[in-house]
Amino acid sequence: MSQPSPARWTEAQLQASLAESLAHWDRRSPLWVFGYGSLIWKPEFEFEAREPARIHGYHRRLCLRSVLYRGTHECPGIVAGLDRGGSCLGMAYRIGAAQVAPVFGQLWEREMFLGSYRPTWMRAWLRNGAHAQALAFVVRRDAFNYGGRLSEDEVVEILGRACGIRGTSLDYVQRTVAALHEAGLRDPHLERLVHRAQRRLQAG
């Protein structure tokens, strides 16, 4: 069922949110960004380093209805968010100090245009045992398009039909699974959802 959405955030709202998240930055140090969905396979920004990483306290979950990129208002899709509990394997990107302003500006335009996420700094544990404070986009449970209460059957149904301007919801999940595999990482839950959705489509 479609539902009304709030207006896109204004430039002033985006800039205020960005300034709040960067208030601690000394403008000389590199910063890290943690990717758990499309940022793994389509970052679209410059970075100095890219390393597999794990964050604790949040897990990757298909819990955000997509009404533009992977669905429509009439037929919402579903994409990943970081939701409370557990841990998440993903990719950490180190952004050089000179690139922080443009890269973070791009990220806010890409991720925050509907205000569905809460930008959060958290500790990301890198594969070599080191850790870094990384910015991650945590889903807001009070967002109009939060879909964390959907059952697995409902998510599979959405994956079998939703399509937006950047393709289907199933394609989004397939790309995420493939990118994790390429990095030597796995998400068994996402893999199961993909298999179930593919079987559903094959069955007609």
Residue from 20, 44, 111, 157 carrying the catalytic annotation: 111
CA angle 143, 90, 26 (to 5 degrees): 80
| Collapsed DSSP state (helix, strand, coil) of residue 29 | coil
Centre a 10 Å sphere on the Cβ of residue 163 and count the other Cβ atoms it contains.
16
Told to judge if 182 belongs to the known catalytic residues of this protein, a careful annotator would answer no
Strand partners, 95: 31
Name which of 47, 203, 8, 23 is nearest 119 in CA terms. 23
Secondary structure letter of residue 146 according to DSSP:
B
79: its two tokens = 């994409």
Q: How many residues does the chain have?
A: 204
Residues with catalytic function: 111
